[in-house]
Amino acid sequence: MRKPILAGNWKMHKTVAEAVALVTDMRDALLAIPGVEKVFCPPFMAIPDVARLVQGTELGVGAQDLYWEESGAYTGEVSPGMVAEFCNYVIIGHSERREYFGETDETVNRKIKAALAHNLTPIVCVGESLELREAGRTESWVTDQVRAALDGLTAAQVAGLVIAYEPIWAIGTGRAATADEAERVCGAVVRATVASLYDQPTADAVRIQYGGSIKPSNTAELLAKPNIDGGLVGGASLQAADFIQIVQLTAKAKGLE
């Protein structure tokens, strides 16, 4: 069985002091929930302090992005080595990075390779816009994103990845995909694409999250689906009670309690 993984993407929220307070509020309760991997992805400024708070525990820390070069004259960027000093995970290719900051399939691929070279586990985001969904292009778009992201990777590398299916039309809107639709895309599109590129054991190993307005009220239904292995949680991860409840519901849905 794939170990469920829930990652809180805090986006551009929380000062360092606020981040410390939030993790302090959640830490003990999260550690008491067995069988589920939990990851905090705070803004860069808060990562060192959050990492110190969870050091020596099973709680993970992730960055929200990185740059693929080792060092150099890249003002404002953060290298893989800098991220790896504090983090286990890194989110790559989030739709907001693609929409607002010029991220492309090519740069996503370069960042994934840089992260893997530093023993970071990428959380690779894919997903379609509302216009693409209404045009019936969900399958082709997501398939192409997965293919481009994994270009040049070995089966072993892919097996260790996390892929997050985030329908753009559901991010921050309150409009989550139905559990059946999320399961269809995670299984029949994302996992099936990995199987076609590599083999079924590789596809069976890769963990696939759902993201896009995941909250306590829809967690149980989503995480009961066999191809949904966790969630990339946005707004609900900024509220200690909500994130704790999402992790608890995930453990219950996967039969881990």
Distance of CA 41 to the CA centre of its chain: 9
pLDDT over 90 (residue 175): no
pLDDT over 80 (residue 256): yes
Return the CATH number of 5-253, one of 3.20.20.70, 3.40.190.10, 3.40.50.2020, 3.40.50.1980: 3.20.20.70
Q: Round to whole Å and give the CA distance between 163 and 150.
A: 10
List alpha helices for 32-104, DSSP H.
Answer: 47-54, 80-84, 95-101
- Quote the pLDDT of residue 118: 98
pLDDT over 90 (residue 31): yes
Q: How confident is the model at residue 103 (pLDDT cuts 50, 70, 90)?
A: very high
Catalytic residue numbers read: 94, 166
Q: Round to whole Å and give the CA distance between 230 and 162.
A: 10
Q: What pTM value is reported for the model?
A: 0.96
